[in-house]
Amino acid sequence: MTDAEELRNRTKELLAAHPPASTDRLDFLRARFDAGLAWVHYPEGLGGLGAPRSLQVVVDAELEAAGAPDNDPRRIGIGLGMAAPTILQYGTEEQKRRFLRPLWTGEEVWCQLFSEPGAGSDLAALGTRAVREDGGPSRSSEAESGGDWVVNGQKVWTSSAHVARWAILIARTDPDVAKHRGITYFVCDMTDPGVEVRPLRQITGEAEFNEVFLTDVRIPDARRLGAVGEGWKVAQTTLNNERVAIGGMRLPREGGMIGPISKTWRERPELRTHDLHQRLLKLWVESEVSRLTAERLRQQLVAGQPGPEGAGMKLAFARLNQEISGLEVELLGEEGLLYDDWTMRRPELVDFTGRDAGYRYLRSKGNSIEGGTSEVLLNIVAERVLGLPAEPRTDKDVAWKDLAR
Amino acid sequence: MSDLLYSEEEDALRAAVRDLLTDHCDAPGVIARTESDSPHHLALWKALTEGMGLAGLLVPEELDGQGATHREAAVVLEELGRAVAPVPYLTSAVVATEALLACGTDDLLRDLAAGTTIGALAVALNVAPGAAYRVVRQEDGLLHGELTGIADAAVADVLLVPADDGGLYAVDAGAATVTPQTSLDLTRPLATVTLDGAPGRLLGDAEPAVRRALRAGAGLLASEQFGLAEWTLTETVRYLKERKQFNRPVGGFQSIKHRLAQLWLEVVNTRAAARNAADALSNGEDVDVAVTVAQAYAAPVAVHAAEEAVQLHGGIGMTWEHPAHLYLKRAKADSIAYGTPGAHREALAALVDLQSP
């Protein structure tokens, strides 16, 4: 049993043994991981102490007060938020020991090779093929380990692919069974010569994301995560964590998209009209209420009573971001007709509330698409929270190779 | 940051109130009562107050109250909202009680806390906290004038009447003429109060007492609106799982599913806003912003939920027999009560420095 007091003491010991002022950043992060203070709810030996997740704030507060470096979580969000929980749940001991430490310290950046041009909301229809080189088993009922896999296909909307060392990849290993059952989950080496990364320019002018072309990429069977044919189940862990990561941030009042427009409103009285005022106040109220709902969800989690509210957070987040940034462009009038810069760039960090109003307006269009479209999320709320009947399905009992495409 | 959850005690209180309402306040009974001579359910009021002591939640223990907070009163109002219960809880146990607390009127507070006396603040139901309200003329200690739109006045024993000298007066209902008005909300009926030289007892300054009373009313009304919205959503979902057209449950059509999911988001948000307002009222922190935000948000959600209930029930939702109309009428009247959403947004603009042009 690890309580707050013990965590505080362990953190102080770490700080005493590795004073942040005189310790190399990476050395400090490695020492923190080895002390079990990286993510306290992870097991001992893998950066944690098996403590309640809610106690992480105790460690973080001590470290912040001591001026300790962090692992720049925004740069390695996919690794921390999606790859790590999946590796923890489905990885072999060897995989956990190999991957989690450099993932957490940021030495190795991760990306996610899931979406395809032909598989967006219907991710399970994906067509990237993984074939065993030796013609070995490709079904879960058959022998479990074998030779290398050879992967061919195309992935899209991959952020960080151009800086990533590793990718989590789902590929089709059996086209003769129904789509959900013929998928396997792998860790893909992004330095393999068969991996080609091309920037994907988006409506903002820049390229946050990439297309990834996979041509005869070799993946040793030891880098498979979970059983052959079980990849869809494994991917659920990844995707559930993605939605939490996108909608669940704790913010102060005016902390999100409503912040910049409120500031502009206060500083630029010449822009104000009655119509804009009414619309701004409505959105301000909705933003504040959305923030309270997120806070209530957090309080429920801390109290150990998670509610279904999380399913809706991303829906509200997307709609508010879009409406507020749209209003902001309108508020700016003549300036709203301008845009800061269309130059094609590859930003390392993405800030939905950054740059100018035009950028915010355009970037927020992605909020209702990435991590599950709003339409799919509404179905999920209706079916899983309200218990309404599921959509009629014509694809469940058809072999993947026979699906319409 | 406020505590937005329910405590174990609050959950227990909810369960007790819900049990009582399940047994004594079913929809056919409420509908039948609306067309009788006594639309209010005074037997239920007696059970809630004399039986459970709920009229005294906001009254200190030394005045024979429960010494509880707005958080508990909010839980009671959620349940009363779910049942569209025709009892003067919000008007007497919250609004009139707050006015008396502001004036420090101990004897009347004891009577209201016991529930044996029902109080009504004689300010029209649509008036927002801080907005202007009508007053009567005070002459030699006697009050003259007519006030309209006074909620639950028909069952009030004592009326708290603002006068033109800036005072708030207690008037025995027997000394006033109370005439029911045909009201949109059949379960919280309004009345006209006519004073023709009625004797009044000066309680204190009207302005701060009325402001405080209406602010608490607006803040806790959000919990009633949450209860209304939650009931209508739950009942509509239940019905649409059973109702079949085109050989399918109607609730399986995606256009319907999306509307209900959207409504669920609004209801979930309303709970957070209402809990925040109740918590702010109980600890006195950031009250004005919490109340205006809650009322600006909750009022349209309750209306939306009730309107969706009527539409998605189809023909049966349009009948007098089905209770959906009770919720629609209450929700629409609630959206005007203690200030419209627009009035609260305007108040908020000043509070958070988003000034009008």
Q: Are B276 and B319 within one domain?
A: yes
CA pair distance B115, B55, nearest whole angstrom: 6
First to last CA, chain B: 32
Q: Are B292 and B160 within one domain?
A: no
Residue type, B130: G
**Of B333, B119, B334, B309, nearest in space to B230 by CA:** B309
Check if the beta carbon of residue B21 is closer than 8 Å to that of residue B82: yes
Q: Output the pLDDT for position A389.
A: 97
Return residues 243-262 of B near A (CB < 8 Å): 248-249, 251-252, 254, 256-258, 260-262
Residue type, B314: G
Check if the beta carbon of residue A231 is closer than 8 Å to that of residue A141: no
pLDDT digits (tens, 9 = 90+) for B253-306: 999 999 999 999 999 999 999 999 999 999 999 999 999 999 999 999 999 999
Q: Are B267 and B160 within one domain?
A: no
Q: Which of B166, B182, B206 is the last residue of a domain?
A: B206
ipTM confidence score: 0.96
CATH number of the domain that residue B15 is part of: 1.10.540.10
The answer to whether the CB atoms of B265 and A286 lie below 8 A apart is no
Q: Are B219 and B202 within one domain?
A: no
The answer to whether the CB atoms of A266 and B354 lie below 8 A apart is yes
The shortest C-alpha distance from B302 to chain A (Å) reads: 15
Asked, for residue B127, whether it belongs to a domain, the answer is no
- Tokens at B29, concatenated: 């009974």
Asked, for residue B91, whether it belongs to a domain, the answer is yes
Q: Are B305 and B334 within one domain?
A: yes
Q: Among all chains, which residue has been given the structure tokens 């927020």?
A: A364
- For A197, the 3-state DSSP assignment is strand
Asked, for residue B68, whether it belongs to a domain, the answer is yes
Q: Are B31 and B55 within one domain?
A: yes
Chain A contact for B265, CB < 8 A? yes
Chain B contact set for A288 (CB, 8 A): 293
Q: How far is CA B213 from the centre of its chain?
A: 12
Q: Are B217 and B272 within one domain?
A: yes
Question: Nearest residue on chain B to A270, judged by CA atoms?
Answer: B357
**Catalytic residue list contains A242:** yes
Q: Are B200 and B233 within one domain?
A: no
Q: Which of B154, B177, B206 is the last residue of a domain?
A: B206
Q: Select from A281, A282, A388 the Cβ nearest to the Cβ of B257.
A: A388
A78-229 has which CATH code?
A: 2.40.110.10
The shortest C-alpha distance from B272 to chain A (Å) reads: 5
Q: Are B67 and B83 within one domain?
A: yes
The answer to whether the CB atoms of B240 and A388 lie below 8 A apart is yes
Q: Among all chains, which residue has been given the structure tokens 């339409």?
A: A375
Q: Output the pLDDT for position A247.
A: 43
Domain A248-372 has CATH 1.10.260: no
The answer to whether the CB atoms of A388 and B252 lie below 8 A apart is yes
Q: Are B58 and B141 within one domain?
A: no
Domain locations along chain A: 4-70, 78-229, 248-372
CATH number of the domain that residue B164 is part of: 2.40.110.10
Q: Which domain holds residue B31?
A: 8-117
A88-A383-B258 Cα angle (round to 5): 120
- What pairing do the DSSP bridges indicate for beta strands A183-189 and A166-172? antiparallel
Q: Output the pLDDT for position A335.
A: 97
Other beta carbons within 10 Å of B3: 15
Check if the beta carbon of residue B119 is closer than 8 Å to that of residue B158: yes
C-alpha distances in Å from residue B229, one per residue of A336, B266, B269, B326 = 39, 9, 11, 12
Q: What mean pLDDT value characterizes chain B?
A: 97
- Tokens at B279, concatenated: 């918590």
Per-10-residue mean pLDDT of chain A, 405 residues long, equals 85 96 97 97 96 88 94 92 95 98 98 96 96 70 71 96 96 97 98 98 96 98 96 88 55 94 98 98 98 90 75 91 98 97 90 93 96 92 96 93 92
B312-B314-B316 Cα angle (round to 5): 120
Chain A contact for B351, CB < 8 A? no
Asked, for residue B130, whether it belongs to a domain, the answer is no
The answer to whether the CB atoms of A391 and B237 lie below 8 A apart is no
Q: Between A and B, how many CB-CB pairs are < 8 A?
A: 123
Q: What is the pTM of this model?
A: 0.92
Among residues A62, A211, A242, A328, the one annotated as catalytic is A242
Q: Are B196 and B291 within one domain?
A: no
CA pair distance B280, B290, nearest whole angstrom: 7
The shortest C-alpha distance from B74 to chain A (Å) reads: 17
pLDDT of B233 strictly over 80: yes
What is the enclosing helix (H) or strand (E) of A214?
Answer: strand A209-219
Q: Provide the number of structural domains found in chain B.
A: 3
Q: Output the pLDDT for position A136.
A: 59
Longest dimension (CA), chain A: 73
pLDDT digits (tens, 9 = 90+) for B152-199: 999 999 999 999 999 999 999 999 999 999 999 999 999 999 999 999
Confidence of residue B214 (pLDDT cuts 50, 70, 90): very high
Chain B contact set for A389 (CB, 8 A): 241, 248-249, 251-252
- Tokens at A269, concatenated: 């009285």
B202-B205-B208 Cα angle (round to 5): 145
- What is the SS3 string spanning chain B? CCCCCCCHHHHHHHHHHHHHHHHHCCHHHHHHHHCCCCCCCHHHHHHHHHHCCHHHCCCCHHHCCCCCCHHHHHHHHHHHHHCCCCCCHHHHHHHHHHHHHHHCCHHHHHHHHHCCCCEEECCCCCCCCCCCCCCEEEECCEEEEEEEEEECHHHCCEEEEEECCCEEEEEEHHHCEEEECCCCCCCCCEEEEEEEEEECEEEEEHHHHHHHHHHHHHHHHHHHHHHHHHHHHHHHHHHHHHCEECCEEHHHCHHHHHHHHHHHHHHHHHHHHHHHHHHHHHHCCCHHHHHHHHHHHHHHHHHHHHHHHHHHCHHHHHCCCCCHHHHHHHHHHHCCCCCCHHHHHHHHHHHCCCCCC
Q: Are B231 and B347 within one domain?
A: yes
